[in-house]
Amino acid sequence: MTILLTGATLPDGSRSDLVIADGVIAEIGTGLRAESAQRIDADGLQALPGLVDLHTHLREPGFEQSETVLTGSRAAAAGGYTAVHAMANTSPVQDTAGVVEQVASLGEQHGYVTVRPVGAVTVGLAGERLSEIGAMAQSRAGVRVFSDDGHCVHDALLMRRALEYVTGFDGVVAQHAQEPRLTEGAQMNEGEVSSELGLAGWPAVAEEAIIARDVLLAEAAGARLHICHLSTAGSAELVRWAKARGVRVTAEVTPHHLLLTEELARSYDARYKVNPPLRRDEDVQALREALADGTIDAVATDHAPHPPESKECSWQEASFGMVGLESALSIVQQTMVDTGLLGWADVARVMSRTPAEIGRVPGYAEPFTVGNPAHLTLYDPSVRRTFGTGDLRGMSANSPYLGRELPGRVIATLHGGVATVLEGALRDPDEVARG
Partner 1 sequence: MSAGLTHLLSVRDLDRETAIGILDIAEDMADVATRAVPKLPTLRGRTVANLFFEDSTRTRLSFEAAAKRLSADVITFSAKGSSVSKGESLKDTAQTIAAMGVDAVVIRHSASGAARVLADSNWIDAAVVNAGDGTHEHPTQGLLDVFTMRRRLHGAGSRGRDLDGVRVTIVGDILHSRVARSNVWLLRTLGAHVHLVAPRTLMPSGVDAWPVTTSSDLDAAIADAPDVLMMLRIQSERMHAAFFPHEREYTRQWGLSDARFARLGADTMVMHPGPMNRGLEISAMAADSDASVILDQVTSGVSIRMAVLYLVLSGGDE
- Binding interface with partner 1 (CB under 8 A): 187, 190-201, 203, 267-270, 309, 312-317
149 labelled catalytic: no
Contact 255, 327 (CB under 8 A): yes
In this complex, which beta carbon is closest to partner 1, that of residue 148 or of residue 190?
Answer: 190
Contact 19, 36 (CB under 8 A): no
In this complex, which beta carbon is closest to partner 1, that of residue 283 or of residue 297?
Answer: 283
In this complex, which beta carbon is closest to partner 1, that of residue 98 or of residue 191?
Answer: 191
Pairing of strands 172-175, 225-227: parallel
The letter for the amino acid at 384 is R
In this complex, which beta carbon is closest to partner 1, that of residue 154 or of residue 280?
Answer: 280
**Rounded to the nearest whole angstrom, what is the least distance from the CB of residue 195 to partner 1 in the complex?**
3
**Rounded to the nearest whole angstrom, what is the least distance from the CB of residue 206 to partner 1 in the complex?**
12
- Residue closest to 380 by CA, chosen among 343, 351, 423, 414: 423
**Rounded to the nearest whole angstrom, what is the least distance from the CB of residue 234 to partner 1 in the complex?**
15
As to burial, measured by CB atoms within 10 angstroms (0-12 exposed, 13-18 middle, 19+ buried), residue 123 is middle
In this complex, which beta carbon is closest to partner 1, that of residue 241 or of residue 315?
Answer: 315
Q: Which of 302, 380, 391, 430 is catalytic?
A: 302
φ/ψ of residue 396, rounded to 5? -115, 155
Report the C-alpha gap between 18 and 13 in whole angstroms: 15
In this complex, which beta carbon is closest to partner 1, that of residue 37 or of residue 200?
Answer: 200
**Rounded to the nearest whole angstrom, what is the least distance from the CB of residue 193 to partner 1 in the complex?**
7
In this complex, which beta carbon is closest to partner 1, that of residue 22 or of residue 317?
Answer: 317
In order of 1, 25, 413, the CA distances from 370 in angstroms are 17, 5, 18
Contact 427, 418 (CB under 8 A): no
In this complex, which beta carbon is closest to partner 1, that of residue 170 or of residue 269?
Answer: 269
The letter for the amino acid at 164 is E
**Rounded to the nearest whole angstrom, what is the least distance from the CB of residue 208 to partner 1 in the complex?**
15
**Rounded to the nearest whole angstrom, what is the least distance from the CB of residue 192 to partner 1 in the complex?**
4
Q: List active site positions.
A: 302
